[in-house]
């Protein structure tokens, strides 16, 4: 079996550290391991439009922002096919056929969709749920299966989408009696605190649409300000610190290494030691945020610098995306052809349709 990696991001804004620890860092790891036959990274503009129908310019503007973030973190155009979702005509066509394999009730039971419906106010009777939005897990199944992708590095919020995709694959292969479509599995981050990184306001997931993000491209002063704005439980320094739901410590879980301690906090060898000391009391949250700021600044500096280099070469960036999109059109069209053949709706591909009818009526 081939190893085909696929992931996508919605061009609703620049990418942030939640994307980085949840999915981007795993993409870099997979890219460097090199154990794949095809590696597709898609900019999911059509999906972004399902809840941004009235602001197409925002989506258009963010396509290149996301592309710059990809290049900035070190995704390599020589190894990866970058493409724009809406430019692949096979995808909406596959979506249309898959829609017959899924019930409306099943779509609305999807826990991520349920959360997002509330978050976006679509549960308000006057607003209602856009059909395209409720349907996006099916269109995501089309994205994945169009490339026969089996390895999907994503954050935990995407797990229900992959389950939906596997259900569609099984139904399709069972009904049409061909093992054409391939089941996918998620690659979740190696560290559990990265599954669903919270926003700087605590509580909810860091998300472009909520505006609680530290962006990969943020300037040093902005990063510092955002880290200082992270809420902490009021207490005197002597009192024990609480780790539960402590956003600064969740970020440290995601970013701090033993080297960070050597460089910026040599009283402690590693995060486990710091956590023990923190819960005993005597360490203020200001100290923790200062350390966190150093750690995150170190991680984001080379990313920001590489982004600036690509910002100077924007025409090359567009060319990379265009070439990748053309290749992705070809790849996804091949799968669509197989799908239509399996569904017996490939009327003029060969003479069998004509011959059957001639036999019937002659």
Residue ranges in 269-328 that form contacts with ligand ATP under rule CB under 6 A: none
Regarding 207 and contact with ligand ATP (CB under 6 A), the answer is yes
From 10-18, 55-63, 140-148, 296-304, span contacting ligand ATP (CB under 6 A) = 10-18
Regarding 209 and contact with ligand ATP (CB under 6 A), the answer is yes
What tokens were used for 205?
A: 């997931």
What tokens were used for 137?
A: 């897990």
Regarding 200 and contact with ligand ATP (CB under 6 A), the answer is no
Q: At what angle are helices 247-255 and 285-311 packed, to 10 degrees?
A: 50
Regarding 241 and contact with ligand ATP (CB under 6 A), the answer is no
CA-atom Rg of the chain in angstroms: 23
As a 3-state breakdown, the chain gives helix, strand, coil percent values, each rounded to 5, of 60, 5, 35
Regarding 22 and contact with ligand ATP (CB under 6 A), the answer is yes
Separation of alpha carbons 325 and 328, rounded Å = 5
From 168-176, 203-211, 292-300, 304-312, span contacting ligand ATP (CB under 6 A) = 203-211
Q: Which is nearer to ligand ATP, 207 or 246 (CB)?
A: 207
Separation of alpha carbons 116 and 249, rounded Å = 26
Task: State phi, psi for 69 to the nearest 5 degrees.
Answer: -65, -40
Among 158, 200, 293, 325, binds ligand ATP (CB under 6 A): 158
Among 38, 65, 93, 157, binds ligand ATP (CB under 6 A): 157
CB 199 within 8 A of CB 212: yes
Q: Which is nearer to ligand ATP, 19 or 289 (CB)?
A: 19
Q: How far is the CB of 299 from ligand ATP (least distance, A)?
A: 15
- Burial, 258: exposed, middle or buried (Cβ in 10 Å; 0-12, 13-18, 19+)? exposed
Regarding 144 and contact with ligand ATP (CB under 6 A), the answer is no
Taking Cα atoms as reference points, which of 157, 129, 152 lies closest to residue 141?
Answer: 152
Regarding 23 and contact with ligand ATP (CB under 6 A), the answer is yes
Regarding 247 and contact with ligand ATP (CB under 6 A), the answer is no
Regarding 27 and contact with ligand ATP (CB under 6 A), the answer is no
C-alpha dihedral (180, 182, 183, 189), degrees to nearest 10: -170
Regarding 18 and contact with ligand ATP (CB under 6 A), the answer is yes
Q: Which is nearer to ligand ATP, 216 or 339 (CB)?
A: 216
State which residue has the least CB distance to ligand ATP: 22
Helix (H, G, I), strand (E, B) or coil at 236: coil
List residues binding ligand ATP (CB under 6 A).
9-10, 12, 18-19, 22-23, 154-155, 157-158, 196-197, 205-209
């Amino acid at each position: 079996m081939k190893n085909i990696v696929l992931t996508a991001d919605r061009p609703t804004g620049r990418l942030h550290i939640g994307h980085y620890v949840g999915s981007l860092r795993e993409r870099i790891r997979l890219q460097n391991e090199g154990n794949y036959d095809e590696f597709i990274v898609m900019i999911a503009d059509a999906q972004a439009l399902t809840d941004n129908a009235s602001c197409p310019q925002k989506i258009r503007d963010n396509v290149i922002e996301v592309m710059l973030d990809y290049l900035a973190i070190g995704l390599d155009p020589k190894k990866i096919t970058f493409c724009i979702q809406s430019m692949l005509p096979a995808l909406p066509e596959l979506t249309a056929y898959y829609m017959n394999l899924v019930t409306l009730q099943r779509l609305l039971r999807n826990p991520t969709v349920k959360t997002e419906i509330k978050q976006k106010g679509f549960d308000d009777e006057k607003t209602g749920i856009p059909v395209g939005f409720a349907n996006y897990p099916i269109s995501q199944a089309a994205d994945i299966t169009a490339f026969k992708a089996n390895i999907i590095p994503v954050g935990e919020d995407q797990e229900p989408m992959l389950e939906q995709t596997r259900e569609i694959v099984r139904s399709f292969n069972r009904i049409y009696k061909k093992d054409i479509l391939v089941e996918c599995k998620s690659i979740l981050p190696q560290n559990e605190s990265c599954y669903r990184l919270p926003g700087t306001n605590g509580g909810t997931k860091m998300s472009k649409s909520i505006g609680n993000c530290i962006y990969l491209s943020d300037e040093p002063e902005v990063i510092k300000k955002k880290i200082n704005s992270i809420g902490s439980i009021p207490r005197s320094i002597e009192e024990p610190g609480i780790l539960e739901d402590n956003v600064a410590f969740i970020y440290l879980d995601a970013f701090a290494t033993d080297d960070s301690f050597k460089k910026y906090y040599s009283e402690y060898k590693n995060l486990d030691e710091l956590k023990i000391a923190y819960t005993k009391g005597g360490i203020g949250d200001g100290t923790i945020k200062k350390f966190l700021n150093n750690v995150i600044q170190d991680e984001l500096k080379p990313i920001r610098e590489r982004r600036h280099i690509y910002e100077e070469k924007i025409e090359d960036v567009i060319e990379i995306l265009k070439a990748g999109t053309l290749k992705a059109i070809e790849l996804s069209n091949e799968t669509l052809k197989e799908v239509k053949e399996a569904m017996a709706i490939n009327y003029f591909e060969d003479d069998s349709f004509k011959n059957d009818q001639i036999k019937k009526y002659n």
